[in-house]
Structure 1
Amino acid sequence: MKYLYLFILLIIIQAASAQSKLLVIKASSTNVSINDGGYFSKDSWRLSPKVKPDIFTADRARRTKWVTFYTDIDSIRVKVKPGTKYNFIILLNGKESCYTQIVSAIMPQSKSKNTEETHDTIPFSLTSFNAIQVKAVINDTDTLNLHFDASSFDFRLTKAALLKKTKLLSNQADALSGKANPDYNHLNKVFKLQIGTLTFNNPDIFPTSVTAHDMDGRFGYNIFEGKQVEIDYDHSVMIVHSKLLKISKAYVKSKMEFIRSFGYIKGTFYINSKKYTGNFIMDTGSDQAIILDSTWVSQQNFSKSLKLIKLTVLRDPRGVKYETKTVLSPLFKIDNFQLTDIPTLILSGKNPLGFEINYLGNDLLKRFNIILDFKNDYLYLKPNSLMNLKYKGNS
C-alpha cells in the first residue's frame, strides 16, 4: 500500500512541476502583433528582455475572451478570464528570454471577509474649461493640479509638470540644467500619491503630452476598479466607495458597456422626426458637450440641415485642409433625460482612438450628479443645479 501512496505522490509532484514550466514561443523580431478579443493591432507590442515580467493588460471585459500574441515566426493563444493572469516566455533570436505576462484589466476579487469599508472624499473645482480639477500631492512634497478623466487610464503627468513641478527628475542633473533632454521613462520612485483622503502607495506614473487646459496631468477611471465613484457637482466632491451604496431613487440606472476598455452608454438624437442612436464614451476630460465620429455620421446619414455654429479650418504641413463643424442639435436623450439645443462637434477625419465611437464631454455630463459603478458596470444619473446652464459652445 505504501508504494501506491508513493506512486500517487510522485504523479502529483510531476504534475505540479509540469505546470510550473512556462510555455516558450520564438521570435526573431522585437515587434509583436496582438489580437485582443477580436481587435487586432499590428506591431503594437515591443519585446523588452530586461523587463521581467513585461506585462500586457488585456482590454477590460467581464466575459472570458482569447488574446493572441503573434511574433514574426510563432504565436500563442491565451484564454483570459476576469481576475486572471498568464505567464509565458518569448525567446528572441534563440538567446534572450522575454518573460511576458498577460493580465486581466479586472483585478481578482478579494477573498477576505474583513475588508474595511471606506468612503474617501476628494474635493474638486470645476474649471472654466469643464475640467474636474483635483489637488494631488506626490511623495508628501510636490503638489499638482490633476483632472479626472473617465475615458482615460492610470496616473499621467505632463512632461512640463514632471520637469518643473516635481522632484521626479532630480536624478537627471543635466536635464534639470538644460544640458540634456529629460528621459521621462526613468523617473524617481513615486512611493505615495494622495488625492483628498485617498492614498495610493507605489502607483505607476506615466508621462503625457495631452491633458485638459491648465492641468499638470490626469487620472483615469481604472484606478477605481471594483469601486463606486460618486461625482457630486452640487457639492464639488468625488466620493469613492469601496462597498456598494444604497442609491437614491432620484437616480436613473443604466448599463455601462465597454469597448477597448472604454466605458460607453447609449444616446439618441431626435431631428425632424428621425432618430439617430449611437454609442458614447463618457469623456469628463473634454470641455465639449457632444463629439461625433465621422464614420458614424456617414453611416447614420446624420442630418445635414442643422444650424452651423462654428466652422474651423486647419491645414497640415502638406497643405491638406481639415474642416471641423459644430452644429446645433435640437434634442438629445440620454436615459430618457431630454437635453435641448446642444452644440455638437462633428469630427472630419479618423477617430483618434482608431475605432468608431462618439463622445459625451463634460459640458454635458456636468449637468448630472453621476455614480459610476465599476463593480457591476452601471451608470447612475441625476439632474443637478447646472442642468439649465448655458452651453459653452453656444456662448
Structure 2
Amino acid sequence: MKYIALLISFLWVQSVFAQSKLPVIKATSKNVAINDGGYLDKNAWSLNPNIKLDVFTADRTRKTKWVTFYTDIDSIRVKVKPGTKYNFVVVLNGRDSFYTQIASAIHPASLLSNTIAKPDTIPFTLTAYNAIQVTSVINNTDTLNLHFDLTSFDFHLTKDAIVKKTKLLSNQPDALAGKTTPNYNNLNKVFKLQMGTIIWNTPEVIPTMVTAHDMDGRFGWNLFEGKQVEIDYDHHLLIIHSKLPKALKGYVRSKLGFTHSYAYIKGTFEVADKKFTGNFLMDIGSEQALILDSTWAGRQGFSKDLKVIKTSILHDPRGVKYETRTVLSPIFKLNGFELTNVPTLILGSKNPSGFEINYLGNDLFKRFNIILDFKNDYIYLKPNKLTGLKYRA
C-alpha cells in the first residue's frame, strides 16, 4: 500500500506539471526572496526537498498584480489574476528540481455564481471575553469550542485541545501516555468538521499555541471566500449567504481593504479640532475595543492630550513583554457611526504583526450587526442592542 500511495503521489505531481517546456529558474542557494505586488520579503521562501509541489499563495487581491521569485542567481516574474495559478521549476545546483506553484489566494470556485438559495446557519455564544464561540464537531465524535477570527486563516486547534479533547493523536499511544512528545505533524486525518449546518470535508487543521481566552482553537475568514458572512449579535447567529441578503435597511456600506491577505476597514478619531484616519484589522477574538499601532500613533501625533486611564504589561505566547497605555478617545467614527469615550489601547513597542496596522477589537465591533461581503469586498454595519453597553477599561 505504501508503494501504491507513493506512485499515486508521483503521478499526481507529474500530471500537474505535464506541460511542454515548463519555465525553469536556477539557484545555488535554497533561500528565495519574493516580491508580492510591491512587497519585497528577502526571507520569504526556502526550497524544501520534502514537498512534491510547493505552493506560494500570493496575498489576496481582486486586482491583477505581479509576483517575482528571486533566487541568488535567477528570477521569474508572474502575472497573478484572481483564481489563477502558475507552475514552474527551480533547479538547485544543476541537479535537484523543486516543483513550484504561484497561486492566487482567491480560489477559482469562489468566482463562480452560486445558485444555492438557502443559507447555512452557525449558532454562537458571545463569551465574557468578547469572543464568538462556536461549537464544532470533528469526525462526528470530538466536540470543541472554536472562535471565529477575522485576523486568521483556515482551522487552527490548540495543542492542548488536540491532546485532551480529540482522537487525532490516537496513532501515538506513547504521546497520549506522556512518555514521548506528541508529533503534531502526524495527526490522524480530519475527514469532517461541522459547525451548525455547514460541513467541511477533509479540511486542513493546523496546530497552534495561540487562541482567544478559553477556546480550543479558531477558524478564519478565508473559509468563506466568495460568500457573504452575516454576524447577528442580536440572535447569536453566523449566517453564511451565497448571495447578498435583500433586507439591508439600517445598514451602512463601506469598502473592505486587504493587506497581507487580512481584511481591514477605515476608522477616524476626532480629538478637539483634529482628525486621525487609519486602517483597522477586525480582531473579533480580542476583548479590547481599539488597539493602535505604536508607529502609527507616533507618526500621527495621536494621544498627546488624551487622558491615560490605564497602563499595563502584556505578554505574547513567546513571553515577550509589551508595555501599553490605554487612553480615552472622545470620538471614533466607523462607517459614519459615531462612538464616544472609547478606551483605546496603544502598543508601547513594535506591532507583533510585522507591519503597521491598527486593530478593531470585539468590545467595539460587537455593537454592530455585520455583513462581510467576501465576493465584492464590502462591509455593512448596523447598530444593535449592545450599542449602549459600557466599555471595558
Question: Superposition pairs for residues 349-388 of structure 1, below 5 Å?
Answer: 349-388=349-388
Is this contact kept in 1: 2:111–2:375, CA < 8 A?
no
The offset of 1:114, in angstroms, is 7.6
Which residue does the alignment assign to 2:54? 54
Question: Superposition pairs for residues 1-395 of structure 1, below 5 Å?
Answer: 20-109=20-109, 115-313=115-313, 322-393=322-393
Structure 1 letter corresponding to 2:293: D
Q: Over residues 15-59 of structure 1, what are the superposed CA-to-partner deviations in whole Å (9 max), with x where a residue is unaligned?
A: xx9953321212233222211111112222222223221111110
Which residue does the alignment assign to 1:7? none
The offset of 1:149, in angstroms, is 0.6
Q: Judging changes above 3 Å, is the alpha-carbon distance between structure 1 residues 69 and 113 closer, same or farther for their aligned structure 2 residues? A: closer
For the residues of structure 2 that align with 1:389 and 1:191, how far apart are their CA atoms?
41
Structure 1 letter corresponding to 2:224: F
Structure 2 letter corresponding to 1:213: H
SS of the residue 1:281 aligns to: strand
For the residues of structure 1 that align with 2:55 and 2:31, how far apart are their CA atoms?
15
Normalising to structure 1: TM-score of the pair?
0.90
Structure 1 letter corresponding to 2:225: E
Q: Judging changes above 3 Å, is the alpha-carbon distance between structure 1 residues 170 and 96 closer, same or farther for their aligned structure 2 residues? A: farther
Is this contact kept in 2: 1:151–1:282, CA < 8 A?
yes
SS of the residue 1:68 aligns to: strand
The offset of 1:92, in angstroms, is 2.5
For the residues of structure 2 that align with 1:171 and 1:95, how far apart are their CA atoms?
37
Is this contact kept in 2: 1:250–1:382, CA < 8 A?
yes
For the residues of structure 1 that align with 2:239 and 2:340, how far apart are their CA atoms?
30
SS of the residue 1:33 aligns to: strand
The offset of 1:115, in angstroms, is 4.1
Q: Over residues 188-224 of structure 1, what are the superposed CA-to-partner deviations in whole Å (9 max), with x where a residue is unaligned?
A: 1111110110000111111111100000100000000
Which residue does the alignment assign to 1:13? none
Which residue does the alignment assign to 2:7? none
Normalising to structure 2: TM-score of the pair?
0.91
Q: Name structure 1 gaps, 5 residues minimum.
A: 1-16
Structure 2 letter corresponding to 1:66: W
Structure 1 letter corresponding to 2:208: T
Q: Which moved more, 1:113-122 or 1:72-81?
A: 113-122
The offset of 1:96, in angstroms, is 2.3
What count of residue pairs does the alignment treat as equivalent?
375
For the residues of structure 1 that align with 2:365 and 2:315, how far apart are their CA atoms?
31
SS of the residue 1:20 aligns to: coil
For the residues of structure 2 that align with 1:239 and 1:90, how far apart are their CA atoms?
44
The offset of 1:321, in angstroms, is 7.8
Is this contact kept in 2: 1:86–1:103, CA < 8 A?
yes
For the residues of structure 2 that align with 1:279 and 1:314, how far apart are their CA atoms?
23
Is this contact kept in 2: 1:49–1:99, CA < 8 A?
no
Is this contact kept in 2: 1:283–1:361, CA < 8 A?
yes
Q: Over residues 309-351 of structure 1, what are the superposed CA-to-partner deviations in whole Å (9 max), with x where a residue is unaligned?
A: 11114799xxx98521011111100111110111100011111
SS of the residue 2:147 aligns to: strand
Q: Judging changes above 3 Å, is the alpha-carbon distance between structure 1 residues 314 and 367 closer, same or farther for their aligned structure 2 residues? A: closer
Structure 2 letter corresponding to 1:296: W
Q: Over residues 137-190 of structure 1, what are the superposed CA-to-partner deviations in whole Å (9 max), with x where a residue is unaligned?
A: 111111110000111111011111112211112222222222222221222111
SS of the residue 1:392 aligns to: coil
The offset of 1:109, in angstroms, is 4.4
Q: Judging changes above 3 Å, is the alpha-carbon distance between structure 1 residues 179 and 110 closer, same or farther for their aligned structure 2 residues? A: closer
For the residues of structure 2 that align with 1:118 and 1:36, how far apart are their CA atoms?
37
Q: Name structure 2 gaps, 5 residues minimum.
A: 1-16
Q: Which moved more, 1:40-49 or 1:220-229?
A: 40-49
Structure 1 letter corresponding to 2:94: G
The offset of 1:353, in angstroms, is 1.4
**RMSD of the alignment, in Å?**
2.1
Q: Judging changes above 3 Å, is the alpha-carbon distance between structure 1 residues 179 and 315 closer, same or farther for their aligned structure 2 residues? A: closer
For the residues of structure 2 that align with 1:321 and 1:116, how far apart are their CA atoms?
48
